[in-house]
């Protein structure tokens, strides 16, 4: 199956640019499928594969750099993977099949080239944001170890100041939580009317906001940041509606942009990301792309599960066994803040008129800060929000896109039907959205006016 350079009888040489989740797992999968291929991995960073998940904890001092390293350099040696750190690829020559690294003044050749270039933080159009970030005047984004160390050092130089995090998505909140632990008074400003706009509905977004504020982080919604204030040093931000907030540091965590320039300059088809087909092939022969840098069916992903799925398919494609096709990745997100369990998966706000029969099982228990919403379409599990309760998480992960048994789901979510003993009227927690226990004490049966005590849990 393995293609060889027939003239020289040499094994195929695969070059991977990028050494994080996508590049590393592609290399590992390739090696698993074939022991002969020559695999070289190049990265501009100075570290072997590390996880970005814990970068915010490097800032708060809870983790050290070595805690983040997933595979050390010995791991690469045992897998016979050649790793080249500190190599920034500047130019791809598709005709000669070479990649040039200007900072090392060297060019290498490849038989197959895999672009695992990842993404960089998006900076919204905010006056002076890019300029003050580049001039190191107190504006930061967080993507890699160097960013985390820079932010940590900067915070040490501004004790007792305030911090602003622009972006109330997952990374923004996780970052804000760690910044708050450095003792800076922290404010999150979010453009949308709720936190985690892509992962939550309005009701759960409100519960999360209350919980985040209870933890001592101020949250400002509907906030379009217009300008970074300060001359030569950050002094705060100004919103479009005129409100101003003081701060000694501003951190922008507002989405990602796939890294495409290297591919684009070589003539490889790009749009928002590097455009690939279901086999992770780009528009050019023998060039493939994987991970955060890709765009598939007009979609970019930016999550680890997508990188992992794609890295299996690309490895099979490269060795010529096109057995599997990529079909996109269901968004799966968990907020990683200690003591705050929140998972959002798949479709969470079904669009009216999309066809099929949608069914929502929902329970909001404001007192215990717990919200569970399960979305079904034609009895298939399509999505879920699970906040404050972990019991159903593994079930939901396992059963996505499968037919489900609603009674089983009700039990798992502690969703009950209560019957009024006077008139037989039913209160279905799944339909009403509010836990029966949470109803006010003066709740009356809407049918016969009986008080709350007349209701009994219906056991089927
Ligand atoms: C703080 C933080 C927390 C996160 N938490 C989660 C989480 O909990 N769950 C989740 O699913 N995802 C999370 N993510 C996202 C996740 O880390 C990314 O989806 C993942 O890292 C993407 O992997 P990748 O290999 O495609 O790209 P990247 O991780 O971006 O790696 C690409 C690498 O290629 C290098 N590179 C780029 N261009 C060149 C070049 N020209 N020459 C040489 N090298 C180059 C880059 O420097 C980089 O090292 C988080 C991200 C951050 C920043």
CA distance 190 to 172: 9
Q: Is residue 393 part of a domain?
A: yes
For ligand 1, atom 17: residue with the closest CA: 52
Both 161 and 269 in one domain: the answer is: no
For ligand 1, atom 37: residue with the closest CA: 117
Q: What is the dihedral of CA 454, 455, 459, 460, to 10 degrees?
A: 100
**Ligand 1 pocket check for 252: Cβ under 6 Å:** no
**Ligand 1 pocket check for 50: Cβ under 6 Å:** no
Q: Find the 171 Cα to ligand 1 centroid distance in Å.
A: 13
In angstroms, the Cα distances linking 35 to 279, 289, 290, 318, 322 are: 22, 22, 21, 13, 18
**Main-chain phi, psi angles of 268, to 5 degrees:** -80, 140
Q: Find the 225 Cα to ligand 1 centroid distance in Å.
A: 26
CA distance 238 to 164: 11
Both 263 and 115 in one domain: the answer is: yes
Both 185 and 151 in one domain: the answer is: yes
Number of domains observed in the structure of the chain: 4
Read off the CATH number of the domain in which 18 is found: 3.50.50.60
Q: Is residue 191 part of a domain?
A: yes
Q: Find the 236 Cα to ligand 1 centroid distance in Å.
A: 29
CA distance 187 to 196: 15
Q: Which domain holds residue 402?
A: 339-413
Q: Is residue 328 part of a domain?
A: no
In the numeric block, which tokens belong to residue 39? 């695999």
Both 218 and 137 in one domain: the answer is: yes
Write down the pTM of the prediction: 0.90
Ligand 1 closest atom vs CA 293? 26
pLDDT at site 65: 97
pLDDT at site 61: 97
Q: Find the 385 Cα to ligand 1 centroid distance in Å.
A: 25
Report the 10 Å Cβ neighbour count for 198: 13
**Ligand 1 pocket check for 42: Cβ under 6 Å:** yes
Q: Are 370 and 346 in contact (CB under 8 A)?
A: no
Both 89 and 31 in one domain: the answer is: yes
pLDDT at site 426: 92
Both 204 and 184 in one domain: the answer is: yes
Q: Is residue 329 part of a domain?
A: no
Both 359 and 453 in one domain: the answer is: no
Both 135 and 238 in one domain: the answer is: yes
**Ligand 1 pocket check for 117: Cβ under 6 Å:** yes
pLDDT at site 433: 72
**Ligand 1 pocket check for 273: Cβ under 6 Å:** no
Of 289, 318, 347, the domain-final residue: 318
Read off the CATH number of the domain in which 356 is found: 3.30.390
For ligand 1, atom 19: residue with the closest CA: 303
**Ligand 1 pocket check for 55: Cβ under 6 Å:** yes
Of 237, 254, 271, the domain-final residue: 254
pLDDT at site 199: 92
Q: Is residue 103 part of a domain?
A: yes
Of 199, 224, 254, the domain-final residue: 254
Both 167 and 232 in one domain: the answer is: yes
Both 241 and 189 in one domain: the answer is: yes
Ligand 1 closest atom vs CA 175? 1
For ligand 1, atom 30: residue with the closest CA: 118
Q: Is residue 6 part of a domain?
A: no
Q: Going residue by residue through the chain (460 aa), what tens digit of pLDDT does each one get?
A: 454 444 556 899 999 999 999 999 999 999 999 999 999 999 999 999 999 999 999 999 999 999 999 999 999 999 999 999 999 999 999 999 999 999 999 999 999 999 999 999 999 999 999 999 999 999 999 999 999 999 999 999 998 889 999 999 999 999 999 999 999 999 999 999 999 988 999 999 999 999 999 999 999 999 999 999 999 999 999 999 999 999 999 999 999 999 999 999 999 999 999 999 999 999 999 999 999 999 999 999 999 999 999 999 999 999 988 888 999 999 889 998 888 889 999 998 887 556 778 888 888 877 778 899 999 999 999 999 999 888 889 899 999 999 998 888 888 888 889 999 999 999 988 788 788 888 889 999 999 999 999 999 886 5
Ligand 1 closest atom vs CA 332? 11
pLDDT at site 460: 56
Q: Is residue 400 part of a domain?
A: yes
Kindly give the pairing relationship between strand 112-115 and strand 332-337: unpaired
Q: Find the 42 Cα to ligand 1 centroid distance in Å.
A: 14
Read off the CATH number of the domain in which 427 is found: 2.20.28.10
Residue whose CB lies within 8 A of the most ligand 1 atoms, among 15, 28, 44, 310, for a mutation test: 44
Q: Find the 117 Cα to ligand 1 centroid distance in Å.
A: 8
Counting every residue written for the chain, the total comes to: 460
Ligand 1 closest atom vs CA 56? 1
Both 116 and 201 in one domain: the answer is: no
**Ligand 1 pocket check for 255: Cβ under 6 Å:** no
Both 153 and 202 in one domain: the answer is: yes
**Residue among 360, 55, 364 nearest 210 (CA):** 364
pLDDT at site 228: 98
**Main-chain phi, psi angles of 145, to 5 degrees:** -60, -40
In angstroms, the Cα distances linking 101 to 18, 89, 105, 355, 404 are: 13, 5, 6, 51, 52
């Amino acid at each position: 199956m393995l293609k060889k350079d027939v003239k020289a009888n040499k094994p195929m040489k695969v070059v991977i640019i990028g050494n994080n989740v996508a590049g590393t797992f592609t290399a590992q999968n390739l090696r698993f499928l074939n022991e002969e291929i020559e695999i070289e991995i190049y990265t501009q960073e100075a570290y072997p594969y590390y996880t970005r998940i814990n970068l915010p904890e490097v800032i708060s001092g809870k983790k050290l750099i070595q805690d983040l390293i997933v595979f050390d350099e010995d791991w690469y040696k045992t897998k016979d993977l050649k790793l080249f750190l500190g190599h920034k690829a500047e130019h791809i020559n598709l005709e000669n099949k070479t990649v040039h690294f200007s900072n090392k003044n060297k060019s290498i050749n490849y038989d197959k080239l895999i672009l695992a270039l990842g993404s960089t933080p998006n900076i919204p159009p905010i006056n002076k944001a890019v300029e003050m970030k580049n001039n190191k005047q107190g504006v930061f984004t967080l993507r890699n170890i160097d960013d985390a160390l820079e932010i940590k050092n900067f915070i040490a130089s501004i004790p007792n100041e305030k911090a602003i995090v622009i972006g109330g998505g997952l990374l923004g909140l996780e970052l804000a939580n760690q910044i708050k632990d450095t003792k800076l008074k922290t404010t999150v400003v979010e453009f949308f009317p709720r936190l985690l706009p892509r992962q939550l509905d309005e009701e759960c977004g409100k519960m999360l906001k209350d919980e985040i504020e209870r933890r001592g982080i101020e949250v400002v919604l509907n906030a379009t940041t217009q300008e970074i204030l300060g001359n030569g040093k950050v002094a705060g931000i100004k919103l479009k509606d005129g409100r101003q907030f003081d701060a000694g540091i501003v951190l922008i965590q507002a989405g990602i942009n796939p890294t495409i320039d290297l591919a684009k300059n070589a003539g490889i088809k790009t749009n928002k990301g590097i455009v690939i087909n279901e086999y992770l092939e780009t528009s050019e022969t023998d060039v493939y792309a994987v991970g955060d840098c890709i765009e598939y069916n007009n979609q970019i992903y930016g999550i680890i599960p997508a990188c992992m799925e794609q890295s299996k398919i690309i490895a099979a494609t490269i060795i010529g066994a096109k057995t599997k096709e990529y079909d996109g990745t269901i968004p799966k997100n968990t907020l990683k803040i200690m003591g705050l369990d929140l998972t959002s998966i798949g479709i969470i706000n079904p669009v009216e008129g999309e066809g099929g029969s949608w069914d929502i099982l929902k329970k909001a228990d404001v007192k215990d800060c717990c919200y569970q919403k399960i979305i079904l379409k034609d009895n298939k599990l399509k999505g879920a929000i699970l906040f404050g309760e972990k019991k159903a998480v593994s079930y939901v992960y396992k059963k996505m896109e499968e037919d489900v048994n609603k009674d089983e789901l009700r039990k798992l979510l502690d969703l009950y039907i209560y019957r009024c003993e006077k008139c037989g009227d039913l209160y279905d927690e799944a339909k009403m959205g509010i836990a029966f226990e949470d109803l006010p004490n003066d709740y009356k049966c809407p049918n016969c006016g009986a008080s709350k005590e007349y209701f009994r849990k219906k056991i089927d």
